[in-house]
Structure 1
């Protein structure tokens, strides 16, 4: 049975948003805090950016990080598979 979606209210960059999802309250609040921290950092480094530009940079940074982590996961899975094969050959 699928989890029922819940509504969460968060404040991001001093604006209130309603997020609908299956995650826990703790998870959603952690995500909102990270987004706020990243936006604050971006705006402090480039004060001339408007809200939309800062949000786009945040999205680009986030997707870039996600792709790097996915590549790391894929490499680790490949190494794990090779190690399992080596272990199986030894036995």
Structure 2
């Protein structure tokens, strides 16, 4: 079976159910779902006045910011190896 085959998964984020499709494993999807929900719960604790949309936007922003930092780290490591 090819790794590019899209599989469908049902996930729950902040009380809402979604069906997503992608090549990832069920374990990968479950871990991502759990991490997103943990971040949302943290935001609810530190600022309960945030709306669901504001929480979602902050989680998305943090994910992209983390991705940028990881990419910079990969590039630095790649440059060190050369």
TM-score, normalised via structure 1 length: 0.84
Q: More relative contact order in 1 or in 2 (CA 8 Å, sep 6+)?
A: 2
1:72 aligns to what SS in structure 2? helix
Give the equivalent residue in structure 1 for 2:66: 65
Give the equivalent residue in structure 2 for 1:85: none
Aligned length: 81
Q: What is the CA–CA distance in structure 2 between the aligned matches of 1:46 and 1:56, rounded to whole Å?
A: 14
1:22-54 deviation line (CA, Å, top 9, x unaligned): 111111011100100011111211110000000
Query: Structure 2: where are the runs of 5+ without partners?
Result: none
Give the equivalent residue in structure 2 for 1:49: 50
TM-score, normalised via structure 2 length: 0.92
Give the equivalent residue in structure 1 for 2:31: 30
CA drift of 1:12 comes to: 0.8
Query: Structure 1: where are the runs of 5+ without partners?
Result: 82-91
Does 2:5 match 1:4? yes
